[in-house]
Amino acid sequence: MKVLKVDHIGIAVKSIDEAQKLYHDLLGLADHGRETVAEQKVTTAFFPVGDTEVELLEATDPDGPVAKFIEKKGQGVHHIAFRVDDLDAALEELKAQGVQLIDQTPRQGAGGARIAFLHPKSTHGVLVELCERKEP
> For residue range 92-114, what is the model confidence (pLDDT) as tens digits?
999 999 999 999 999 999 988 99
Predicted confidence at residue 136, as pLDDT, reads: 55
- Predicted TM-score (pTM) of the model is 0.93
What are the CA-CA distances from residue 53 to residues 11, 40, 49, 130 (Å)?
Answer: 11, 19, 5, 14
Q: Which residue type, as a one-letter code, is found at position 126? A: V
125 sits in the region (left: phi over 0; alpha: psi -120 to 50; else beta) called left
Confidence band of 134 (pLDDT split at 50, 70, 90): confident
Kindly report, residue by residue over 6-25, the tens digit of the pLDDT: 999 999 999 999 999 999 99
Which of these, 80, 84, 79, lies nearest to 5 by C-alpha position?
A: 84
Average pLDDT over the chain reads 95
CATH class of the domain defined by 3-132: alpha beta
